[in-house]
Chain A
Amino acid sequence: MKRNFAGTLTLSRFFWRQERRQVVLWALAIVLLNFLVVVSYAQIYKSPAERAAMAQTMRNPAMTFMLGPGWGLDNYTIGAMVGHEMLLFAAMLAAIMNILVVQALTRSSEEDGRHELLLSLPVGSLSSLAAPLVLALMQNAGLALATGLALWVPGVESVDLAGSLLFGTAVGTTGFFFAGLTALFAQLAETSRANLILSLSVLGLLYVLRGLGDLGREWLSLATPLGLILRTQVYVANYWWPVGIMLAAAGVLWTGAFRLNWGRDLGSGYLRARAGRQRASRLLRSPFGLALRLQRSAIISWLCALLLLGASYGSVFADLEEFLAGNEFLREILPSVQGYSLTEQFLSMVIDVTAMLAVIPALLPVVRLVKEEKAGRLESLLALPVSRLNLLLGFLLLGVLVSALAMLASGLGLGLAVQAVLGEGPPLTSVLVASLAQLPGMLVMLGAAVVIVGFCPRFTVLLWAYVAYSVFAVYFGVLINLPQWAVKLSPFGWNPQLPVEPFEVQTALLLLGLAVLLCAAGAWGYVRRDLDL
């Protein structure tokens, strides 16, 4: 038995060396996020009245579905707020981190032939799975401790050490559970892609099931890991028993993974890859068709997410007055315009924010072109009678299409939800028009993406930085009295805020003209530069 695990510790050190960058960055992000939330909540929600108002807006099914049941709503302390609003989110992030790390060390490593190399050494046959287990244990223990301490360090009264440590442990345990799940799926799936998709979809499914359970079917919540972990009721009741059950469940998953690993050949999986299409669909006959095929799942997921996001914003409109009363931050950044209702003002702000999120899936096809270039897949395409301009336009066209679809999706979710909760209010068409009015700014962003692809493909990070700057300038700009020119540096600073502001045709045309100019400049560069083949 011992022989089967020979070399495990050496291998774990080696695996840590491979993955430490990813692990540390994820852990830091999770820890910092929690720390910042505690600090800023303590700043924003100083008085019990403000917190009670916030609790009031949390008392609706949409919030329960998204965040889980609010146990401390009657005495909504900062601790109760953090537990209610952050635990599920932090646990999900830990789950994603573990899925990515474990899949890289198991099926992905096996698929790329790295396992073969390692297992040919005097290394036990189960060590290739035992080493990720050791790594998962260490990283989640570290994450648990660091998260717990980060919550406690700001010294907020209701965020006590006991609750913070339980919060951290709950996050780490969830991570360990999903590490086990991914390790198990790595035995089933035949490709690393299938392993990743399977693990992430199960995470998504469990989130939705938990949401449905929290809306009144307690047994369903208890049966799902994410629902279970929320039952710790951190900072309110501090129950430890869900952590115990989760650890036991994680143990079962890991044991299952080892059992299955023992019985299979290197490179094989229990779920045989389905035979795919022998022939391409009719759509796959142009650069646009290829872009669509490559981005299909990403686009569908983003559109669904934006629809949900719009709907969840819309659900707030029922108690908008209370919601805003409890949220000093939102009240300050909300433009106050005479002659318009609070609903209309808030609507324009929400649309502004969703546009900056909706631009992300629109940018993805253009950015994908850089990824295709780096992966060396453009060589085969460009050796065909396909010009670079043709290729670029195909991917850009998809980006333009997606930006319109994305705004329609979020507008639809928002408009329908507002209708549902208010029973009246702004008609759906006006919400959709207001959403589509954001397009000129989004197209300028697309133009910026084309410039990056055309001249400096290594710096796609600049593009995301520009998007982040836009969010900062347009959303938070009012708060810190950012000068108007700095807001106007972002194309979203030029977009009209319908229905509060009128739609100015001139500005829109100006933005469209700029977008076309940027695209033309980027295309000029793309056609001329050496490709990184």
Chain B
Amino acid sequence: MTVLETVELKKNFGDISALKGVNLAVRRGEIHGFIGPNGAGKTTTMRILLGLLKPTAGTATVFGRDAWKDAVEIHRQVAYVPGEVQLWPNLTGGEVLDLLARLRGPGNERLRGELLERFDLDPSRKCGTYSKGNRQKVALIAALSSGAELLILDEPTSGLDPLMEQVFQDCLQELRAQGRSVLLSSHILSEVEKVCDRVSIIRDGVIIESGTLVELRHLTSTHVAVQTKRPLEGLEQFSGVHDLQERGGVTYFSVEAEELGAVMAHLSRFEIVRLECAPPTLEDLFIRHYEGETRR
């Protein structure tokens, strides 16, 4: 059961085509990571899903309804945190929170106070005096206290300090526990890794990879550091072994998932003293695809 879906979504701005066929689906109750380099089309996709931009071709649906035509109805159950939160400089944070809540409907008073405390935000200050992080907190508190079924968050932690980032991640876990759905774009891959159930990677207006982290990791290689009693040899012959090097008696290399078993069997013959395996990080995935782009 998907809460939002795009099919062959295209968007042109004049001559520039920002999206060249985006196929994205978020299932009910999942936290879906949306990652990609700057200018890949993350924000554009999100804005189309919110009916802020009209797609050039393809479809974008939320809760099974057309994102552009039924925007107002959809928005009753959607909360959004823009990447660049801009607020009215002469309104206070509290006034903005009230305005945003009232335009949606009756707000959740208890949650509002609780979140203000957790995010350590002073609602009596004018938004003009807020830092980027504080403006982001206002938008986050508005979204998190809305009770919306689906949250669309565009790099919501880019201005937050590590402490606040932790608070935000706790909030996400609570949302998951309540069965709500989240589309979360991010640059901070460790954050995506920590909280997301599934991930879509976008590059140059196209989704290039989509799936659970386990599925995606399968596509890339494991980092190995090994020390053996007898001198290690013969690793070069494995086609799946890369970046082989030796420093201070320790051999470092990375190995593709398909050959991991064979390589391990090979290593054991040299009497292993120490062995460290690091799973591939999302960074590796990201860089692998990113390199693919630059090579082209």
Contacts and interface: CB of A to CB of B under 8 A. Distances in A.
A191 interface: yes
Contact of B82 (A277, A380, A387): A380
Contacts of B73: 385
Contact of B72 (A273, A276, A278, A385): A385
B255 interface: no
B108 interface: no
Contacts of A285: 98-99, 102-103
A381 B82 CA distance: 11
A28 interface: no
Interface stretch (B85-93, B163-171, B175-183, B231-239): B85-93
Interface stretch (B32-40, B119-127, B194-202, B265-273): B119-127
Nearest to B116: A278
Interface stretch (A71-79, A411-419, A525-533): A525-533
Of listed B71, B73, B79, B105, residue having the most chain A CB within 10 A? B71
A379 to B, nearest CB: 5
Contact of A191 (B72, B75, B92, B129): B129
Given A278-B124, A531-B52, A193 B90 contact: yes
A275 interface: yes
B139 interface: yes
B123 A278 contact: yes
Contact of A380 (B53, B80, B90, B98): B80
Interface in A269-295: 273, 275-281, 284-286, 289-290, 293-294
Contacts of A191: 89, 126, 128-129
B205 to A, nearest CB: 17
Q: Is the interface of A mostly helix, strand, loop or mixed?
A: loop
B125 A280 contact: no
Given A285-B103, A294-B88, A384-B103, A277 B53 contact: no
Contacts of B76: 385
A279 to B, nearest CB: 6
Of listed A289, A379, A381, residue having the most chain B CB within 10 A? A379
Interface string A451-464: 00000000000000
A266 B267 CA distance: 60
A375 B80 CA distance: 18
Given A376-B86, A533-B47, A277 B94 contact: yes
A13 interface: no
Contact of B126 (A276, A384, A533): A276
A191 B53 CA distance: 34
Contact of B80 (A286, A383, A386, A387): A383
B99 A276 contact: no
Given A385-B76, A530-B53, A290 B125 contact: no
Interface string A71-101: 0000000000000000000000000000000
A417 to B, nearest CB: 34
B86 A277 contact: no
A110 interface: no
Q: Is the interface of B mostly helix, strand, loop or mixed?
A: mixed
A174 to B, nearest CB: 29
B104 interface: yes
B60 interface: no
A530 B54 contact: yes
A471 B139 CA distance: 44
Contact of A280 (B79, B89, B99, B128): B99
A264 interface: no
B263 to A, nearest CB: 50
A405 to B, nearest CB: 21
Interface in B230-288: none
Of listed B51, B54, B102, residue having the most chain A CB within 10 A? B102
A383 B125 contact: no
Nearest to B77: A385
Nearest to A273: B129
B144 to A, nearest CB: 14
Contacts of B99: 280, 284-285, 289-290
Contacts of B129: 190-191, 273
B114 interface: no
Which bracket fits the contact residues of A?
35 or more
A277 B92 contact: yes
A384 B98 contact: no
B50 interface: yes
B103 A383 contact: no
Contacts of B91: 276, 280, 293
B87 A377 contact: yes
B125 A384 contact: no
A382 interface: yes
A279 B72 contact: no
Nearest to B71: A387
Interface string A117-141: 0000000000000000000000000
B82 A379 contact: yes
A271 B153 CA distance: 37
B4 interface: no
A280 B98 contact: yes
Contacts of A294: 88, 90
B78 interface: yes
A382 B152 CA distance: 13
Contact of A275 (B85, B89, B124): B124
A377 B90 CA distance: 13
B88 A377 contact: yes
B95 A284 contact: yes
Given A193-B89, A385-B104, A533-B52, A276 B125 contact: yes
Contacts of B139: 380
Interface string B127-144: 011000000000100100
A193 B89 CA distance: 9
Nearest to A190: B129
Contact of B102 (A284, A377, A533): A284
B100 interface: yes
B191 interface: no
A284 B94 CA distance: 12
B261 to A, nearest CB: 49
A270 to B, nearest CB: 16
10 interchain residue pairs of minimum CB distance: A280-B98, A383-B80, A276-B92, A280-B95, A275-B124, A376-B86, A285-B102, A385-B75, A278-B94, A379-B82
16 contacts: A273-B125, A277-B124, A278-B92, A278-B94, A280-B95, A285-B98, A376-B82, A380-B86, A380-B139, A383-B52, A383-B80, A383-B82, A384-B104, A385-B76, A386-B103, A528-B54
Given A277-B92, A280-B97, 9 more contacts: A275-B124, A285-B102, A293-B91, A376-B84, A379-B82, A380-B85, A383-B82, A387-B71, A528-B54
